[in-house]
Each structure stands twice: as structure tokens, then as C-alpha cells.
Structure 1
Amino acid sequence: MGCAANPNIRVRRTEDGRLQVDGPLAGPFPDTETLAAQACELMTGQGGASAGMVGSEYCALHYYAPDEQAYYLSYLSDVKRQFDTYGRKTCEMPAALRDLKRVNALILGGGHNHPHNRQFSPGDLRTTWNPSRAVDTQTGQSFHRVLYLFFRERTGVCNAYRYDHASQIISALRNGQWVPIGRTVDDSGNIQMLDGADWLP
């Protein structure tokens, strides 16, 4: 008997070559802190997502629904950018969303897990969203596009991080609040930690 398909994965390649995911898998959420906390638990709970050096990456889109003033997480993709090695895992980030109930949704960026490392890789940070901001045309509200990273510690604690493409600031989710811990210093994705800050509290 073969393995059952993961119902949380809904991804396809469009005619123009982009990866498209369905939505939503999770939400609505009132803020990005709640979204990231729930997405961390969900994404690191997939098969192999917390399996260390033999694990796998999953990725998804997160987006904002202006009519509801709420945040959502899309279904997942497990499409790889390249063949995985023991030390290098990848997931090709989707670029398109299909949510038939929220056709005016604003894509605010991507999210992915690391099975073996709680830090953003240079490759993560070299990938940019253009433009780095999204605007709700109804209200004029501006959103920074961000990349989320999720990692489950051996203790079972799920740590969430985000990279702000507009400000180039890296933050950690701690006690329900985003706390800046570092920033990128060049286009190669090199990171400078803020004074007294680290990936763990």
C-alpha cells in the first residue's frame, strides 16, 4: 500500500511557469504574530519538517484580506528548487495564490520551515519580493512584505522568525511580540546581529 498524499499540500505550476498554491489552509488571524505562531506549529508538524539533517522543507504564502482585515496562510508546497543534500534543503517559494473567496487578497510574502537550522540562510535572504511593500488600495494602508522562518527545537518549542524585505530587519517572535535581533548588511544575505541579541532568548 502506498503512502497517502498530504492533504495540506495543494500546489501546481501555471502556464507562465509560476508555482500557485490554494488558500487558505489556516486563518483568519487578527495579526501577524498570531499567524506566525500558528503557522510555525502547522508547518513544522508536517512529515519530515523537523527531522534534522534528513528532513524536508515546506513553503507557503501568507496574505491579507482587506475586506475582513484578517491574515491567512495558504496551503503548502513541497516543490524543491534543487535536489536536496544531507546539509542543504530547499523549497521553491510559490508566487501565485488561488483563493476564490478573497480575489483581492494582498500577498505579503512567503514562509518556510528549516528541518535542521533555526537561522536564515544567505539564499533565503538573497530572495526578494518586488515591490517590498504592498498597499491596500481601499484604505491606503501599507504593508511590508516579509519572509517567515519556522524551526522546532528538540524541546518541542516552535520558534518563528521573520525577515522584513523593506527594512532588512530580522525579528524573532517572543512572548507574542516581534523583537528585532539583526539585519542584513549586504546583498549576499550576510547578517549582523544587534547588540545583545541572538537567535535564542
Structure 2
Amino acid sequence: MDNGQLQVDGPLAGPFPDTETLAARACELMTGQGGASAGLAGSEYCALHYYAPDEGAYYLSYLSDVRRQLDTYSRKTCEMPTALRDLKRVNAIILGAGHNHPHNRQFSPGDLQTTWNPSRAVDKETGRSFHRALYLFFRERTGVCNAYRYDYASKVISALRDGQWIPIGRTVDDSGNIQMLDGADWLP
């Protein structure tokens, strides 16, 4: 856009009744893109996830593979969109962004150093408050797609397991260092 923001259209997918269903479907869509699960030679894709108050439903935007910096062998990037154009849902509330990692199931320190300001969003009609979150998607070699969520407000990292967000860790500083919860790990 003229102001420097990266805008994506929407929706690519949805409506979904909850963030768990959205994340499970987004994991399949994003890791199914060309190179999205190709390891160190792979590519990252970014998208927005958002809520439509009039429908009470969640959506995923179209994907972006725009990069402002070149990928390296061990570091993959995509620029996170920050603006949405959904002509049918002009009052949509952006709840955050999501991306895949082609080579690693964990959030990078860079993922966890960024924030979405403000870290909470409010539906002005109902007063309902939402925590904004960053989603991460990774397809295992077994074909299983794992989804993770970093809550910008609480700083908690959760894994999507059996259709539910399960807290597994939290960031402990502004550098993106993670402390795993007792008995928790990236895989069940």
C-alpha cells in the first residue's frame, strides 16, 4: 500500500466457528503450498487470521510470499501482512498473523520478538475482547500438520492437540527465549 503496509485479500478460507478449527485448516492450506514443507530449501508463506463480528466467524486471508530480505539456507522469511481487504467483511477484526516453517516446528526468536500492537482487540459493538496471536504451522515428515500459537498479550505458547489449544511454554524475556512448561514439549 502507499503507506508501506502489506495488504492481503480475504478470505481464502472460512467461515470457521473457532480458532482451533481455523488453525487446523490453515495448517493444511499453508503447508500444502509449493516448498512450504521442503526443509531448509523450502519457502515461508504468511497470512492474516481475522474475526467477522456480524457472522461470529473466523477467517484466513489469502497467502503472501513477499519478502523484504533474502532467505538464507537456515533462515526463511515472509513479510507479515498488516492490512486486510475483505469487501464483504469491512468491520473484520484482525486477530493476528500466521506462517509456516518449512524446516522447524518451533517459533524462532525473531517470531517472538515482534509484537502486534495493541496485543488485544475489542469488538466495539459487543465489547468482546480478543487476544491477538501469531500462528506457526509445520508439517512433519509423517504428514501430520502441527499448529502452534503465540499469544501476544499473555506471552503463552500453545500447541493445537486433539482440537484444543494446550499451553506448552511462555516467553521469558524480550529476546524471544522460551521456558517450556513442566512436562510439555513441541510434540505430544
- Asked if Structure 1 and Structure 2 have the same fold, meaning a TM-score greater than 0.5 normalized by the shorter chain, the answer is yes
Of stretches 81-90 and 24-33 in structure 1, the one that deviates more from structure 2 is: 81-90
What pairs up with 1:121-136 in 2 under 5 angstroms? 121-136=108-123
Alignment of 1:62-77 (within 5 A): 62-77=49-64
What does the per-residue CA deviation read over 1:134-190, in whole Å, with 9 as the maximum and x for residues that have no partner? Answer: 000110000000000000000000000000000000000000000000000000000
Q: Does 1:117 align with 2:104?
A: yes
The answer on 1:52 being equivalent to 2:39 is yes
Partner of 1:94: 81
**Root mean square deviation, CA, Å:** 0.4
Normalised to the residue count of structure 1, the TM-score between the two structures is 0.93
Identity of aligned residues (%): 87
SS of aligned partner of 1:48: coil
Q: Which residue of 2 aligns with 1:7?
A: none
Q: In the alignment, what sits opposite 1:153? A: 140
Residue of structure 1 equivalent to 2:6: 19
5+ unaligned residues in a row in structure 1: which ranges? 1-13
Aligned residues: 188
Tell me, in whole angstroms, the C-alpha distance in 1 between the residues paired with 2:140 and 2:121: 32
* Residue of structure 2 equivalent to 1:3: none
| 1:34 partner SS | helix
Secondary structure, aligned partner of 1:35 = helix
Residue in 2 that maps onto 1:78: 65
TM-score (norm 2): 0.99
